Amino acid sequence: MTVLLTGGTGYIGSHTATALSEAGHEVILLDNFCNSHRAILERLEKIVGKSVPCIEGDVRDTALVKRTLQEYGVEVVIHLAGLKAVGESVKTPLNYYENNVHGTLSLLRAMDEADVNNMIFSSSATVYGDPQYLPIDEDHPLAPTNPYGRTKLYIEQILEDHVRANDNIKVVNLRYFNPVGSHSSALLGEDPRGIPNNLMPFMARVASGELKELSVFGDDYPTMDGTGVRDYIHVVDLAEGHVAALEFLPRSTGFETFNLGTGSGFSVLQVIQSYEVACGKKIPYQIVKRRPGDIASCYTDPNKANAVLKWKANRSLSEMCLSSWDFQRRLN
Ligand SMILES: NC(=O)c1ccc[n+]([C@@H]2O[C@H](COP(=O)([O-])OP(=O)(O)OC[C@H]3O[C@@H](n4cnc5c(N)ncnc54)[C@H](O)[C@@H]3O)[C@@H](O)[C@H]2O)c1
């Protein structure tokens, strides 16, 4: 199939582009590079053995997106473009609604005008908010606790309404848990602009000496060692989840949601230990106060994705840490 990836040069987009290309699909990227680097394109070319077309532009530019869809004969859009930092979304909510929600509306208009009817959407486990039970399945109530999570929930609702109103439109809604790690080539990985917001890229920069120490936000949660527990998923497993979702689209009947995670939770201290083994160094860290809005534990019930998409996240925590460190070392 011919697939447009919005946000395709970002962390998850670049890995997904590789997995799709390896599975024989034609891939086109569209990105405004607000959180990614142009150098990704050369690295992608090295991995997939051919150049990957990339349009520099914003999903809010409806005319540009429409032209791109028509010019390349796009059949499916994987919509990854968006802002994703929870803390930043609390400080600048309008930027988040503008970019994520308005961006999606503009994209949907362009898709309508170009008669492109299939979308895979990058949603997030953040839409569930504080877990009311664990593991979290797709029927868990939705109650995001911050503007970023609300943008994802509103987009999901817009997509659901759009599908309900149009028999020919299909959307696969993927709620990612915590993607980490890097491609085996060490050419792709998580390399955010500025100070990383997420645990593993932050830890990678501490291990490389770029940052002094890691802050662990709270050690008094009701978990195995008091630190927060999350469902970390190797980004290559996640990328393969998109290939499975694409293959599922013809069988789908409208709007379908899947949680993508491993189903296992690891605490911050367990991740630090595993990273120390991977990089062969101690990671200096300090326990600090809990962060407002953080939750104790969050992990998925992956059964629906396993059964319906015929996909499973198999890579271990140690593979996640080793691949992250390989990528970080190559950067330095
Ligand atoms: N990484 C995670 O932990 C995580 C978890 C759950 C969901 N998600 C979602 O997955 C998607 C991809 O996340 P990621 O980790 O690869 O983030 P990323 O920041 O690495 O990638 C997003 C890409 O979108 C681009 N972009 C942003 N706004 C744009 C716009 N208006 N027009 C065009 N391009 C734009 C950025 O330049 C970037 O390359 C996001 O929608 C994010 O909310 C990520």
101 lines ligand 1 (CB under 6 A): no
Number of domains in the chain: 1
Annotated catalytic residue: which of 11, 128, 148, 275?
148
Q: Whose CA is nearest to atom 18 of ligand 1?
A: 10
Domain assignment of residue 305, given as a range: 2-176+235-261+301-313
Exposure string for 86-116, b = 16+ CB within 10 A, e = fewer? bebbeeeeeebbebbbebbebbbebbeebeb
CB 182 within 8 A of CB 128: no
Is residue 318 situated within a structural domain?
no
DSSP annotation of 125: G
- Rounded to two decimals, the pTM is 0.97
CATH number at residue 46: 3.40.50.720
Q: Whose CA is nearest to atom 34 of ligand 1?
A: 31
Is residue 322 situated within a structural domain?
no
Helices 268-279 and 199-207 cross at an angle (nearest 10°) of 40
241 lines ligand 1 (CB under 6 A): no
Residue by residue, pLDDT tens for the chain (332 residues) are: 999 999 999 999 999 999 999 999 999 999 999 999 999 999 999 999 999 999 999 999 999 999 999 999 999 999 999 999 988 999 999 999 999 999 999 999 999 999 999 999 999 999 999 999 999 999 999 999 999 999 999 999 999 999 999 999 999 999 999 999 999 999 999 988 788 989 999 999 999 999 999 999 999 999 999 999 999 999 999 999 999 999 999 999 899 999 999 999 999 999 999 999 999 999 999 999 998 778 899 999 999 999 999 999 999 999 999 999 999 999 87
